[in-house]
Chains A and B, each alone.
Chain A
Amino acid sequence: MAFKIAIASGKGGTGKTTFAVNLFSSINENWTRKVQLVDCDVEEPNDLLFFRNVSVTSEKASVQVIPEIDTSKCTFCKKCEEYCEFNAIVMMPTMQYATVNKDLCHSCGACFVACQFDAIHETTNAIGTITDYNIGNDRSLMEGNLRVGSPLQTMLIKDVKRNLVVENDVLIYDAPPGTSCPVVETISDADFVILVTEPTPFGVYDLKLTVDLLREVDKPFGVFVNKAGLGDSEVYEYLKAEGIQLLGEIPFSKEYASLYAKGKIVSCVPLQFAKEYRKVVAYLQKLNE
C-alpha cells in the first residue's frame, strides 16, 4: 500500500502547489522513484504548469450516471421527484412533462429505486477529465480537471482516486483550498496531512479552521509555514500552544514569487529551501517505517 500524503490549507494562495511539486521532486530524489503526484484541486488544477517536457500518457472522461425519463412509460406519479433530495427532477403531470436537471443530480440512484414502471434509464453526464501525464524521467502526474460549469468537484476527486491503479510507494494529493466536502474527499484516505500556511492573520485563521476539520476526522497532520517573515508571529504561538508539529518553513522572497510566476519553482530551488524539503521528506520516511 502506498503511503498517502495530502497537502491542504484553508486559505488559498498559501503555497500548496509550490509545496506539493517540490515535495514530489524531493521525494523522487531522496526517497523513492515510485512516487506519484495527484492534483485533486480539480476546479483549478495547476501542478502541471510547473513541469516541462510533458506528454499525455492517458486521458479519459469522467462521467456521472444520471437518470433519463422515458415519458412514454412514465405515469407521472412523481415518486422519483419525491425521492430526489437534490431537486434534480421536475415533473408536471398535467403537461405530461418530466425532466432531469443534470447539474443538480448527485447520482445517488434513488430515482431508479423509486420508479416502478421501468421509465427511468441510465445515461451519463460529463463532469470532467482525468489525465495521466508523463512529466519527464518517467514521473507521473494524475490530474482531475472539472468541466467548467459543473458543481460536482467532490465526485470528480473520488473518480481521480479510483483511477490510481499503478503501484506506487508514495502518493501526494494536492488538495483544493477551503474546509468543505472536496477537501474532506481529498484527505479521506490520506495517512498524513501537511497544512501549508502563511504567517498572516488570514492564513492563521483559516489554518485553525482546517485544524478543527482534521481533528474532527482524526487525521495526523503537521504544518509547513510558507512566506515566513511576511506577517507576524501568531502562527508560531498557535502551533506551540496546540502542540502542533512545525515541519519546516521557507522565507518570503519577492524573487521566489517571481520564479513561481514563471513556473520555475522546481528547476530553481534555492539551496536553503531544498534543505527544508529534505527535512520534511526525512520526517515522512520515519512516519512510514
Chain B
Amino acid sequence: MNNMKDITILSGKGGTGKTSITAALASVIENTVFVDADVDAADLHIIFQPENKETHVFDGAWVASIDTDLCTNCGLCREHCKFDAINFKTGGGLEIDSFACEGCRLCERVCPVGAISSERSTNNFWYVSDTRFGPLVHAKMGPGEENSGKLVTQIRKSAKEIAKAKNADYILNDGPPGIGCAAIASITGADAVILITEPSKSGFHDVVRLVELVQSFKIPMYALINKFDINLDICNQMESFFASQDIKLMGKLPFSEDVVHSMVAKKTILEYNKESEIGIILSELWKEVASSEQKIEQ
C-alpha cells in the first residue's frame, strides 16, 4: 500500500528560508516528487537545475477585448464593469485595461452589438522536469497574471499523479509567502504543513496568521525556527506559542552565511558543505518528522 505523504512548506512572511530548506531537505529525502508552489516567484529551479521534460500551457483567466469596428461607444459595458477595467480613451472610444480585467465576461454578455469577446490568457506555463533529486513540477506565471491559486492546484495535481505512478513516499511543496489564494491552494488536501519561521516581530506576527489558516483546514503542523539566534527573546515566545497550539517544534537552525554561499554556488546546503551544522541538524529533524508521520499512518 502506498502511504504517500503530501507535505507543504509555508512561512507567512517571505524570506524566512522556505526554498533553501526545501532544497536542503532534497539532499536528505529519497523517493520524493518536488513542487515549486510559489508560482509568482519560483526559485527552487535555481538550485535544482531541472532538465525540462514537459511544457504545458495553463489556461489563465479570461481577458476581454473590444472590437472597435463594431463598438458603438454606448458605454453599457463600462457601467456594468465592477473592476473599473473599461475606460474611454483619450480621443474617443472605449478600451479594456487587461491588467484590471478579472475575466467575469459580463461586458461581453451585456454588449448589445456583440463587440466584446474574451480569450483565455496563455501566458502561464507549467513544467514537469527531471532533477538530480527526482521529479520537479514547477511553473512560470506571466507578469501580473491572475489565478495563481488555480495554477498551484494544477501543478500539485500533476505531482500527485507522478507520485502515484512511481510509488513515491513524499510530495514536498515549496509554498508561497502570505495567506491568500496561492497559500490556500498549496494547503488544500495536504497531509502536513511545515512552518518555516524566523524570530522577528514580523516573522512571528505572520506565522500566527498562517497557523490560524492551516488550523481551519485541520492539517497537522510542524514548526522550524530558522535563524533562531537573531533574537532569543522572540524565539522563546515562539516556542511557547507553538507549544500552546500543539504544534510540534521540529527544531531550530542558527543563522548561517552557508545558506547564501550555497545559493550562490547553486547547490543545496549539504552539497555545498557536507559538514554544515545546518545540514546536519536538518537531516536529524527530517528523520523525526518522517517517523512521526509514519506513526500517524499506523
Contact = CB atoms under 8 A, between A and B. Distances in A.
Interface of A: 10-14, 17, 43-44, 46, 49-50, 83, 85-86, 106-110, 113-114, 146, 148-153, 176-184, 188, 200-202, 205-206, 209, 212-213, 216-217, 230-232, 254, 257-258, 260-263
13 contacts: A10-B40, A11-B43, A12-B11, A13-B15, A14-B15, A50-B201, A106-B102, A109-B80, A148-B212, A201-B266, A206-B41, A206-B43, A261-B234
Interface string B229-256: 0110010000000000000000000010
B234 A13 contact: no
Nearest to A212: B143
B180 A146 contact: yes
Contact of B143 (A151, A152, A153, A213): A213
Contact of B13 (A13, A106, A205, A216): A13
Contact of A177 (B178, B184, B263): B178
Given A108-B82, A184-B99, A230 B260 contact: yes
B80 A46 contact: no
Contacts of B257: 230
Given A177-B40, A206-B41, A113 B263 contact: no
Given A43-B180, A44-B206, A83 B143 contact: no
Contact of B99 (A13, A17, A107, A217): A217
B143 A216 contact: yes
Nearest to B207: A44
A177 B43 CA distance: 13
B149 interface: yes
Interface stretch (B24-32, B104-112, B157-165, B282-290): B104-112
Nearest to B145: A180
B246 to A, nearest CB: 18
What class of interface size applies to chain B in its complex with A?
A: 35 or more
B173 interface: no
Nearest to B255: A254
B177 A46 contact: no
A12 B143 CA distance: 16
A151 B15 contact: no
A231 B177 CA distance: 22
A46 B14 CA distance: 12
Contacts, number: 184
B105 A148 contact: no
B183 interface: yes
Contacts of A14: 14-15
A200 B103 contact: no
Contacts of A152: 181
Given A12-B11, A263-B200, 7 more contacts: A46-B206, A50-B201, A83-B105, A109-B104, A177-B41, A213-B144, A216-B144
A229 to B, nearest CB: 10
Nearest to A43: B178
B263 A46 contact: no
Contacts of B104: 85-86, 106, 108-110
Contacts of A148: 179, 209, 212-213, 216
Contacts of B177: 12-13, 43-44, 176-178
A209 B43 CA distance: 11
B143 A179 contact: yes
B74 to A, nearest CB: 16
Interface in B68-114: 80, 82-83, 99-100, 102-106, 109-110
A231 B264 contact: yes
Given A181-B144, A188-B100, A205-B43, A44 B209 contact: yes
B102 to A, nearest CB: 6
Given A148-B216, A216-B144, A108 B106 contact: yes
Nearest to B84: A158
A125 to B, nearest CB: 14
A236 to B, nearest CB: 14
Pairs of residues from A and B, 8 with the lowest C-beta to C-beta distance, nearest first:
A13-B15, A12-B14, A108-B104, A178-B40, A213-B143, A151-B181, A43-B178, A261-B231
Given A83-B109, A179-B141, A184-B99, A44 B146 contact: no
Given A44-B177, A262-B231, A232 B144 contact: no
Interface in B7-23: 11-16, 19
B231 A258 contact: yes
Nearest to B110: A113
Nearest to A49: B201
B109 A149 contact: no
